[in-house]
Amino acid sequence: MEAAALQFPWRQLGELLVAEELLTEDELEQALSEQAASGRLLGQILVANGYLSAFSLARVLSEQHGVQLSPKEGAPAPPAEVPSEPDQAWRPLGKLLVDLEFLTESQLERALAAQRDDGGRLGEILVSRGLLSGTELAQALAEQHGFELGAQDEAELQTVVVRPITAEEPVYKLFEVIFEPGYQRRTALFESTNFLEAADHAFEFVEEHEPAALEIHRTLGAAQETVWNYSATRAAAVSAERKNLAETFGFDPTTWGKKR
């Protein structure tokens, strides 16, 4: 099963932006409806529709990775942003950083090993170790979410602080769901205070292991909720439905307007 069949937990990202008062509830619902209909990345829709600036979105995404950014004092205003092409597929951050040549494979592997051993967020680890600048992290996150930061460079942005994890932050736990006769067994695979990283690990786990089902749980104190789930059978049904649409119409109407 291809990871492209997964649906990223867009609502969770949108609710984060609403909590930051960068989006209204109405704007979020409109953007989610457009995302479901078009298949475009949510970040691209938000920037293209003018709901928030590319810099604001990149700043919030960077903070999720433990890195706070701001324009340097006296820097010129960011130029107008032009969204990327709408046919981009979701790519986990680590792979994207290597594709952009911001990191080598060995540097990424060492950072991931440190994350497994000591916890923390991938961006925080890379920036604190001097392997990645805050600007490079923001540029990669922008591309991951389907929009562009424009022509800003190191002279116009600065890393304010690598933000430590606090006890008040929720934890996102990724589980594999294994179906046994009469019950479901859940095996913990990964946890982070950054739900973006939990989603990245889910995509990579599907590519490598083809599990029957996955879930991401959000916990804060005694409260717990499931914020995303994946089912191989449901993904197969969606793929089959799209194939039937293509056979009927000669193309897939759900991707109409996307660049091939």
Domain extents for the chain? 3-162
Confidence of residue 83 (pLDDT cuts 50, 70, 90): low
- 29-81 tens-digit pLDDT: 999 999 888 888 899 999 999 998 888 898 889 988 888 887 666 555 555 45
Tell me the pTM: 0.76
**Cα 72 to chain center, whole Å?**
26
Comparison of pLDDT for 82 and 24, the residue scoring more:
24
- 126-137 tens-digit pLDDT: 998 999 988 899
- Per-residue pLDDT at 226: 93
**What does each C-alpha distance from 256 to 36, 42, 213, 251 come to in angstroms?**
13, 17, 29, 8
- Per-residue pLDDT at 235: 77
Q: Cα–Cα distance between 43 and 58 in angstroms, integer?
A: 9
Average pLDDT of the segment spanning 153-163: 59
Q: Cα–Cα distance between 226 and 37 in angstroms, integer?
A: 24
- 210-235 tens-digit pLDDT: 999 999 999 988 899 998 989 988 87
Average pLDDT of the segment spanning 178-183: 90
How does the average pLDDT of the chain come out, rounded?
81
Please check the confidence at residue 84 and state whether its pLDDT lies above 60.
Answer: no
Please check the confidence at residue 10 and state whether its pLDDT lies above 90.
Answer: no
- Per-residue pLDDT at 96: 93
SS3 per-residue string spanning the chain: CCHHHCCCCHHHHHHHHHHCCCCCHHHHHHHHHHHHHHCCCHHHHHHHCCCCCHHHHHHHHHHHCCEEEEECCCCCCCCCCCCCCCCCCCCCHHHHHHHCCCCCHHHHHHHHHHHHHHCCCHHHHHHHCCCCCHHHHHHHHHHHCCCCCCCCCCCCEEEEEECCCCCCCCEEEEEEEEEECCEEEEEEEEEECCHHHHHHHHHHHHHHHCCCEEEEEEEECCEEEEEEEEEHHHHHHHHHHHHHHHHHHCCCHHHCCCCC
Comparison of pLDDT for 55 and 165, the residue scoring more:
55
- Per-residue pLDDT at 212: 93
